[in-house]
Amino acid sequence: MSTINVRTSNGNLNLRKSEALVGLKISGEEKPPEVREEVMPELGGFEVVALDPGRNIDRALDQVRQSEGVSVGTHVYFAENDNRPVVPTGLIYCTPVENADRNEVRLIFQRLNLTIEEDRPDGTILLSVTRRSRNPLKVAAALQELPIIETAIPDLDVPLDQYFSEPRDGLFPEEWHLENEGSIPGVPNYPLKRGADARVRAAWKRLNSLGSSAVTIAVIDKGFDLNHPDLAGKSVHPLHINSNETKLPVGAAAGTHGTPCASVALGAANGTGIVGAAPNARLMPLHGLTYSPYYTERMFNHCVTSGADVISCSWGTVEAIYRPGALHERAVTSALTRGRGGKGCIVVFAAGNEGKNLINYYAQLPGVIAVGASTSNDTHASYSNRGPGLTVVAPSDGGWPILAARASWDPGVPRVSPEKKYYADGRDRGPYHKHFGGTSCATPLVAGICALMLSANPELTSAEVKAILQRTADKIGTPSDYDAGGYSDRYGYGRVNADRAVAEALRYRGNGNAPAPPPIAVTLPQAGTYSLQVSALSNHAAVADLSAKLQSEFNLPVAISPVETNGSTVYRVLVGQFATAELARDNIDRLRAAGYRPFVRELTGIG
């Protein structure tokens, strides 16, 4: 079948149309009779289903679109050498050329039967196809050919990887990852390494509490059993990402991954079950995993506007064709800088379970805390991805696994004996829990520890939390694993130490001896020249980090221009000084290739 070449923020993507799968938006319980199999319940706002493979897919889709209860139908695609379905959501990110006639642009949209959903201050126009529009991929390609349009990028969604791995060895009923005494009650023949834990119980003692109920951890995942004894009553501001509603789906089709992830971060201390790292924290559950830039913006914006303090993400990808682009990065950066009243949400991503020398692309985004996994013997978990960008590791399976909550509809591990569906050693611990592991488990553990740090000191910025975690981590492995700066591709800066991290957070708050934030060199560029603005940030540390990063990457002068707005300071970050606007534009592609979204700014009057 022929392929279609699609422009994305990461370059061009060759897609081939599926011969059997389509995406449908269905109202009601009954599926159209043409549906042979339900493949994926949620992808880009559609249900991915299989139609009769013997029929021409175009004619089959046209027919099912006429069915009662089907509001929208779309083709499903596959990228070269990849078996994950790709769904166009029907949205297009369009940027007209500079100084384009806006009336002419709107006439073009009308002729193509497109609806303007958003007209953003940065010049981006978010478009939506209608029933009268052509295929959104073809519409975007047609727009891209027009001289008046600079970019037209269709919004695509693909399933991302949930970083869970089944336990590899036995289990015990005690939570050794919080405090490891070197043995497991009732299992005398499996020794652990004493002290191979995250020091969470010691952090509780230092705080003299289990953390603050004023701290909210957002967990972005699928499959939350909010009636589970360890999670009941903890949910605030839930969001179904695709539908933009507060009611979350339940049952097998909804998935099971979010329940154990949430429990590791904040399972309640209620006398039964398990206890999370930050038992008093509140849970903000966001159901839905998405590559779509539009839905990615929605999820992180919801976290910011609804008051999340920490955002835990046990998912991602190591496939280069689906690495996050500029729009994804902007959404994450917005949370890192705008959240918590400008102090920034703490964003934690899993490094991934592929066992590669490459960590999850989402975990590589600037400012994100990237988490790998260590074992009950303080060794590197073999499945845990390695490489530059890893921040810390945290205890998970690979030796003894972690005990976590399980959704009431969780079917357990397939293809094992019935007694080992939930517990690897076959010993029943009741209907509410199961073995859990992977970097999916290590990530919410670190998210919970970040919540304890904010309980100790609510004024910490996102950059300060990350710096403290790095500085207080325990070096495990061998000295040869680490370079002269104390960094390891296998362990990051080491295994997370909650007690030391909380102690440092208290020191920042208590005596004023904390290191000053990195200085910002405020430089007012020469008036009458031109520059490329890449960002406008209020977070002091983020401005300093970005400035240093830009200077290193491009060897161009970087200017910081402060602007007072609504009683606070925002810093414009500007790259280069050019005599003309044309010379400035000559450098745009260079910055875009590195993931930035620059625009030309005349420097007269800046500051």
Helix segments in 231-325, DSSP class H: 258-266, 293-305
Q: Considering 75, 257, 328, 433, which one is annotated as catalytic? A: 257
Cα separation, 504 vs 207, whole angstroms? 12
Cα separation, 420 vs 423, whole angstroms? 5
Tokens 């193509």, located at residue: 112
Tokens 């400008």, located at residue: 342
Q: Do 605 and 542 form a contact (C-beta atoms < 8 A)?
A: no
Burial class (CB in 10 A: 0-12, 13-18, 19+), 509: middle
| Count of other CB atoms within 10 angstroms of residue 199 | 24
Q: Do 390 and 360 form a contact (C-beta atoms < 8 A)?
A: no
Q: Do 239 and 246 form a contact (C-beta atoms < 8 A)?
A: yes
Dihedral angle computed from the Cα positions of residues 330, 336, 340 and 342, in that order, rounded to the nearest 10 degrees: -80
Cα separation, 505 vs 80, whole angstroms? 48
Tokens of 87: 């769904």
Cα separation, 113 vs 126, whole angstroms? 14
Q: Do 346 and 303 form a contact (C-beta atoms < 8 A)?
A: no
Contacts of 278 (CB under 8 A, 6+ apart): 210, 211, 215, 217, 265, 266, 448, 449, 451, 452, 455
Q: Do 547 and 576 form a contact (C-beta atoms < 8 A)?
A: no
Tokens of 189: 């023949």
| E strand spans, 44-124 | 46-50, 70-79, 85-96, 114-119
Burial class (CB in 10 A: 0-12, 13-18, 19+), 187: middle
Cα separation, 453 vs 514, whole angstroms? 15
Q: Which residues on neighbouring strands pair with residue 49, listed in sequence order?
A: 22, 38
Angle, helices 540-554 vs 462-472, to 10°: value is: 80
Residue 297 main-chain phi, psi, to 5 deg: -60, -40
Q: Considering 165, 376, 396, 440, which one is annotated as catalytic? A: 440
Cα separation, 212 vs 209, whole angstroms? 8
Cα separation, 200 vs 374, whole angstroms? 15
Whose CA is closest to 390, among 366, 372, 367, 365?
372
Task: Using alpha carbons only, give the angle 260, 261, 266 rounded to the nearest 5 degrees.
Answer: 95
Whose CA is closest to 96, among 601, 580, 599, 604?
599
Q: Considering 155, 157, 161, 221, which one is annotated as catalytic? A: 221
440 is catalytic: yes
Cα separation, 110 vs 351, whole angstroms? 44
221 is catalytic: yes
In angstroms and rounded to an integer, the radius of gyration of the C-alpha atoms of the chain is 25
213 is catalytic: no
Strands 310-313 and 216-221: parallel
Q: Do 85 and 160 form a contact (C-beta atoms < 8 A)?
A: no
Q: Which residues are identified as catalytic? A: 221, 257, 440
